[in-house]
């Protein structure tokens, strides 16, 4: 057990370093004065080097080998060792010079993208984006050799451990066929109903903040181990025992900030609910980005936009902002939160159209990594995919293939986790309703505790003990089932 105990100590140190990076990153996006940027970059870069050295130390490979052959581990320790090995393979598979090249090309491309996007200048960005794609292909090849999988799956594994694109493609193809037929049906149904009544602002920003805090308390956020702040883009970050989340406020629309708070609180509950006895160890970490996204969407989409909770929220929101009349009824609020449109922009898309955006990006990035799509042909392929999946064609690259930061920033293999998370959320919520008969009624009282307790037992407290498919099967009694997500969409958007 000596080798295993040494590994636990090493990963406890690594966790502490990563927690420090998390707090520094949060501060840089919320409170840090602009003049501190250069110093902060040096601080975080130094800590990241330390973290990388902890994972690539040659002694670590020897300790892993010894611990794996010695045996005698408890089940959670064996799972912990499995996760240690995966992190080690990712860290050591890529040569240091390629890591450096990937970081530099992504930084340069991301900075150029900030100017190229508003100018719709794909041709100007293309040489830098090609450099990013080339380095990602090299990384994919190196990791594929170490992990024993295909190149795209090697990149996917960093975000969704053991995820396999062939399985995802089959699920996404099924869902895409459904969505192409479902979207016009929903649009026709909504057009046949009376017009949605708008909510008139302005909406006081402090009142919005208080409403968000009320929602966080209802959901069960622990303010002794976290806080809410403001940033340009909402996110959940911080440290293992100090979860920081942010939102942004708009004076003319309180619904975006509120749903942003609920979304990030779902992420935060997962972080706050991770098993205390496994703290600082890989087995205690959240189980990949698909499961993490499911936790934000089960709070925001499944519960937060459901009729029961909106019945509670409507009078509270009206009192908060001094609203009155038919626009502030639960029915109208529900229709506001479930409006469907053929959208060009992923981040503004609704629950029905969002998966189509993700499916398109998954198909395109996989084709580019595997050499089946040249970068020069991306705009045309993008527009063709938008026309086929959503019935719209972007009029320019700004609203087309340049809209996301992921590819310029080097995040290839991330996109599918968004829609996998939505499907997992629907399946978890469906099972939780059956297991907790008072769940929906409690949401109608603004009480998330039955849902939260169920998630704590079946998801949060499990950490990374199970791979994602096994975790979902343990929680719901079956593997991922796209039919559950389809039924959820049909009930919400056609039976309302």
pLDDT of 496 strictly over 70? no
User: 160-496, which class in CATH?
Assistant: mainly alpha
Q: Exposed, middle or buried by CB within 10 Å (0-12, 13-18, 19+), for 115? A: exposed
b/e for 134-144, b at 16 or more Cβ within 10 A?
A: ebbbbbbebbb
State the catalytic residues: 264
Each residue's pLDDT tens digit, 365-414: 999 999 999 999 999 999 999 999 999 999 999 999 999 999 999 999 99
pLDDT above 70: percentage of residues in the chain: 100
Q: What is the pLDDT of residue 37?
A: 87
| Residue 136 vs residues 11, 155, 271, 366, 405: alpha-carbon distances, Å | 27, 8, 29, 11, 15
pLDDT of 296 strictly over 70? yes
pLDDT of 219 strictly over 70? yes
Each residue's pLDDT tens digit, 261-283: 999 999 999 999 999 999 999 99
| Residue 310 vs residues 186, 239, 325, 440, 471: alpha-carbon distances, Å | 21, 32, 16, 11, 30
Domain ranges of the chain: 1-73, 160-496
Q: What is the pLDDT of residue 1?
A: 81
Each residue's pLDDT tens digit, 429-461: 999 999 999 999 999 999 999 999 999 999 999
d(CA 337, CA 262): 13
Least confident of 42-56, 294-308, 343-357: 42-56
Q: What is the pLDDT of residue 100?
A: 87
Stretch 165-182: mean pLDDT? 98
CA angle at residue 351 from 349 to 356, to 5 degrees? 65
Each residue's pLDDT tens digit, 317-356: 999 999 999 999 999 999 999 999 999 999 999 999 999 9
d(CA 304, CA 222): 18
What's the mean pLDDT when you consider all of the chain? 96
Q: What is the pLDDT of residue 233?
A: 85
d(CA 73, CA 280): 18
Stretch 40-62: mean pLDDT? 92
d(CA 425, CA 291): 8
Under the banding of pLDDT at 50, 70 and 90, the label for residue 109 is very high
């Amino acid at each position: 057990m000596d080798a295993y105990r040494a590994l636990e100590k090493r990963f406890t140190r690594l966790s502490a370093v990563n927690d420090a990076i998390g707090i520094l990153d949060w501060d840089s996006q919320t409170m840090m004065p602009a003049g501190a940027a250069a110093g902060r970059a040096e601080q975080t870069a130094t800590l990241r080097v330390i973290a990388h050295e902890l994972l690539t130390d040659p002694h670590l490979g020897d300790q892993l080998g010894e611990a794996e052959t010695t045996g005698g581990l408890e089940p959670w320790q064996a799972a912990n060792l499995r996760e240690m090995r995966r992190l080690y393979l990712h860290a050591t598979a890529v040569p240091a010079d390629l890591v450096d090249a990937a970081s530099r090309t992504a930084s340069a491309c991301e900075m150029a993208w900030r100017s190229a996007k508003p100018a719709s200048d794909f041709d100007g960005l293309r040489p830098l984006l090609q450099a990013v794609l080339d380095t990602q292909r090299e990384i994919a090849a190196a990791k594929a050799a170490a992990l024993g999988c295909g190149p795209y799956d090697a990149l996917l594994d960093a975000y969704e451990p053991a995820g396999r694109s062939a399985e995802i493609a089959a699920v996404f193809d099924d869902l895409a066929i459904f969505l192409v037929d479902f979207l016009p049906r929903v649009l026709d149904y909504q057009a046949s109903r009376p017009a949605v009544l708008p909510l008139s602002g302005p909406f006081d920003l402090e009142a919005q903040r208080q409403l968000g805090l009320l929602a966080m308390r209802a959901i069960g956020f622990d303010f002794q181990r976290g806080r809410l702040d403001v940033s340009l883009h909402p996110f959940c970050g911080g440290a293992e025992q100090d979860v920081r989340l942010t939102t942004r406020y708009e004076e003319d629309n309180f619904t975006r900030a509120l749903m942003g708070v609920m979304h990030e609180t779902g992420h935060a509950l997962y972080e706050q609910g991770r098993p205390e006895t496994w703290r600082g160890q890989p087995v205690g970490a959240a189980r990949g980005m698909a499961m993490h996204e499911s936790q934000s969407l089960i709070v925001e989409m499944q519960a937060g936009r459901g009729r029961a909770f909106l019945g509670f929220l409507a009078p509270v929101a009206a009192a908060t902002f001094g609203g009155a009349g038919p626009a502030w009824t639960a029915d109208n609020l529900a229709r506001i939160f479930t409006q469907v449109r053929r959208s060009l922009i992923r981040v503004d898309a609704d629950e029905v159209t969002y998966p189509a955006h993700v499916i398109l990006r998954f198909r395109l990035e996989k084709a580019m990594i595997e050499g089946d799509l040249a970068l020069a042909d991306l705009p045309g392929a993008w527009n063709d995919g938008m026309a086929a999946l959503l019935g719209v064609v972007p009029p320019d690259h700004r609203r087309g293939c340049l809209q996301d930061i992921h590819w310029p920033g080097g995040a290839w293999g991330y996109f599918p986790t968004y829609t996998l998370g939505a499907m997992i959320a629907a399946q978890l919520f469906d099972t939780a309703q059956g297991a907790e008969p008072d769940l929906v009624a409690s949401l109608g009282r603004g009480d998330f505790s039955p849902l939260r307790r169920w998630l704590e037992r079946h998801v949060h407290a499990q950490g990374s003990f199970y791979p994602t498919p096994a975790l979902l099967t343990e929680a719901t009694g079956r593997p991922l089932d796209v039919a559950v997500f389809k039924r959820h969409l049909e009930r919400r958007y056609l039976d309302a």
